[in-house]
Amino acid sequence: MARNLARILGGCGSLVPFMKTPACPPRNSSSIPPARTLVQMLFSKSRDFSLPNSSWGEEMMRLYEFYNGQSDVETEGEENQGREWKRLPSYNRSLKYATGGVYLSKIIQSKARLFTRNIREPGAAFEYVLFINKEKERCVCVFQAGHLLEGPPGHVHGGAIATMIDTVTGTHASAISAPVMTANLNIDYRSPIPLGSTVLIESTLEKTEGRKLYISCKVTSTDGSKRHTDATALFVSISVAHLLKG
């Protein structure tokens, strides 16, 4: 079993031409783990950061339960069961969505981490969960801003807000036409977001033109009474080969 898996992984270097070093260790290397370890890494599950943890506040939990009560978890190949929303899982690397991604993540730039998921301390930075409604072409994110995201004293940094807008609209666009790259992002900041507070980030698909997807976005208080930010985004769908070339 280990020998067969070693043969398979031995060809990984050709799949990632941008790497400067071989993606996999030599076949006869003592660093190749035993068969049982390989299988465990290949099929083990990653931590889903979109699930509740002890840092989530009351409002974060309330909104999570509201949308989660109307949703299913998005899984590849699974048909819509008629529910309005689908919860999107979130990992510390996008690569982990792929089949065998847990193992691939260990051999392709193993130290890389998704920017919004690179802090281990719960509640310190980006706490969020996304739900998508493909029929209505909408996406909603429940976002709780941690203390490490400070910009103006006591409030969230504008760059952190822009990061979340790009994350939400980009995830929305990817769900429609994966994969995509951000081509343009315009943001109007209206009122500051207090650190530790929970807000809603909602995106709507406005139109598509060939490979281009135009999406609008707004950031509001959870009751909708305050508008924090407005944004528009343009994404362009690309091929996987183009993504690998860099």
Among 22, 21, 36, 27, CA closest to 8: 27
Determine, yes or no, domain membership for 120: yes
Instruction: Count up the domains in the chain and report the number.
Output: 2
Of 45, 50, 48, 38, nearest to 9 by C-alpha is 38
- 53 and 25 within one domain: no
Query: Residue 50: inside a domain, yes or no?
Result: yes
178, 74: one domain: yes
Q: What are phi and psi of 143, to 5 degrees?
A: -125, 125
Q: 56 and 178 share a domain?
A: yes
Q: Please check whether residues 94 and 76 belong to one and the same domain.
A: yes
pTM of the model: 0.77
State the pLDDT at residue 49. Answer: 94
Which of the following is catalytic: 166, 188, 223, 230? 166
| In a domain? residue 103 | no
- Let me know whether 1 and 90 are in one domain: no
Write the pLDDT tens digit of every residue in 200-216: 999 999 999 999 999 99
What pLDDT, on the 0 to 100 scale, is given for residue 84?
A: 85
Residues 30 and 89 in one domain: no
Give the Å distances, CA to CA, from 162 to 112, 186, 241: 21, 9, 28
Are residues 182 and 91 part of one domain?
A: yes
Asked whether residue 175 is domain-assigned, the answer is yes
Using pLDDT thresholds of 50, 70 and 90, give the confidence band for residue 10.
Answer: very low
Question: Per-residue pLDDT for 50 more than 80?
Answer: yes
Please tell me what DSSP assigns to residue 57.
Answer: -
Query: Are residues 19 and 88 both part of a single domain?
Result: no
Determine the Cα–Cα distance for residues 148 and 185; give it in Å rounded to an integer. Answer: 24
- If asked whether residues 10 and 121 sit together in one domain, one would say no
CATH of residue 210: 3.10.129.10
On whether both 151 and 241 belong to a single domain, the answer is yes
Task: Supply the mean pLDDT for the chain.
Answer: 81
Question: How many other CB atoms are there within 10 angstroms of residue 228's CB atom?
Answer: 20
> Is 178 a member of any domain?
yes
Spatial contact of 74 and 67, defined as CB atoms under 8 Å apart: no
Residue 36 located in a structural domain: yes
Do 137 and 35 have their domain in common? no
- Please indicate, yes or no, whether residues 37 and 79 belong to a single structural domain of this protein: no
Percent of the chain with pLDDT over 90: 60
128, β-bridge pairs:
143
166 is catalytic: yes
Please tell me the predicted confidence (pLDDT) of residue 96: 76
| Residue range of the domain that includes 121 | 46-98+112-245
Q: How confident is the model at residue 29 (pLDDT cuts 50, 70, 90)?
A: very low
Q: In whole angstroms, give the CA distance from residue 210 to residue 133.
A: 22
Q: Do the domain assignments include residue 104?
A: no
Among the listed residues 231, 129, 148, the one whose alpha carbon sits nearest the alpha carbon of residue 189: 231
Beta bridge partner(s), residue 186 = 232
Are 90 and 48 a contacting pair, CB within 8 Å? yes
Closest CA to 219 of 128, 147, 86: 128
